[in-house]
Amino acid sequence: MLEIRDLHVSIGDKPILKGISLTILPGEVHAIMGPNGSGKSTLAQVLAGREGYTVTAGAVTWQGQDLLAMAPEERAWAGLFLGFQYPLEIPGVANVQLLKEAVNSQRRRKGLPELDAFDFLERVKASLKLLEMDEAMLYRGVNEGFSGGEKKRNEILQMLMLEPRLAILDETDSGLDIDALKIVARGVNALRGPERAILLVTHYQRLLEHITPDHVHVLADGRIVASGGRELALELEAKGYGWLTAEAGQEARP
């Protein structure tokens, strides 16, 4: 469903990703782990279509289409979702307004009628309940004055409403206490299904205790230096990143 082949990405002249290859199939949960500065967030942003990055080599194919040629909104319509590491505050745009616009522009693209107010509210309420969010949140500005945990829950709310085929969650676990982490994990698990895939980008493995990945990849210095199953995350937890990044450093030498 998603195929990344030898992806090289720079910011200005500085190479950040130095040849990433990754294939994600429907139903799979992948976790990308790595120390700060390894390129994790760059990968997430490039997949979602953020400007300011230059793809210098490689390709990304999404359900047979050239993903990199698509505008951010086209990627969203095609079923891609990015949960932001730092969700933006947009005062003056109500949460419910964003959700309605987002859901309905997706439906229009699919040739479906816009959701009527009643159906829309029913769906939102069910998701709010799952995420233990107050209905009043709908009428506040997008993330305006939200706590860190509320912002992350709000990302998951948007994800549940949009029902993406692939959800990329960028450090969705950072800044969450254990209760909030469980709630977020509950939201993500609710989305899991045979047609959907999830890409978790995280520094720590604690999120993986609640969302079990099928594949774990370690990113260091812009490369995937190790791939494995669930056990790789545990090994990282025990040993840290040092042993892998040191290897990557050696490998990089001519």
Q: How far is CA 95 from CA 9, 10, 105, 133, 159, in A?
A: 33, 34, 15, 12, 13
Angle at 231 between CA 229 and CA 237, to 5 degrees: 125
User: Which is it for strands 80-83 and 166-170: parallel, antiparallel or unpaired?
Assistant: parallel
Sequential DSSP letters for 1-61? -EEEEEEEEEETTEEEEEEEEEEE-TT-EEEEE--TTSSHHHHHHHHHT-TT-EEEEEEEE
Minimum distance of other proteins from residue 159's CB (angstroms) = 10
Contact range with other proteins by CB under 8 A, out of 32-40, 46-54, 203-211, 233-241? 46-54
Q: Using CB under 8 A, count the residues that bind other proteins.
A: 29
Place of tokens 């990945």: 213
Min dist CB 114 to other proteins, Å, is 13
Site map 154..193 versus other proteins, x via CB under 8 A: ----x---x-------------------------------
Which two tokens mark 112?
Answer: 């479906």
* Per-residue interface string for the shown chain with other proteins, residues 1-40, x marking contact by CB under 8 A: ----------------------------------------
∠ CA 185-79-15, nearest 5°, is: 85
* 52 backbone φψ class: left, alpha, beta (φ>0; ψ -120 to 50): left
d(CA 248, CA 224) in angstroms, rounded, equals 9
* Per-residue binding letters, 106-135, with other proteins (x by CB under 8 A): x--x--------------------------
Site string for other proteins, 216-245 (x = CB under 8 A): ------------------------------
Dist. CA 124–CA 72, nearest whole Å: 24
Whichever of 73 and 119 has its CB closer to other proteins, that residue is 73
The CB-of-142 to other proteins minimum distance in angstroms stands at 8
What are the angstrom distances between the C-alpha of 102 and each of 108, 160, 169? 10, 12, 18
Show the tokens assigned to 168. 């990329």
Token pair in block for residue 137: 């949140």
Asked if 102 touches other proteins (CB under 8 A), the answer is: yes
Of 108 and 239, nearer to other proteins (C-beta) is 108
Q: How far is the CB of 73 from other proteins (least distance, A)?
A: 5
User: Binding marks (x or -) toward other proteins, 67..96, rule CB under 8 A?
Assistant: ----xxx-xxx---xx-x--xx-xxxx---
Provide the binding-site residues for other proteins, judged by CB under 8 A: 48-51, 71-73, 75-77, 81-82, 84, 87-88, 90-93, 97-98, 101-102, 105-106, 109, 141, 158, 162
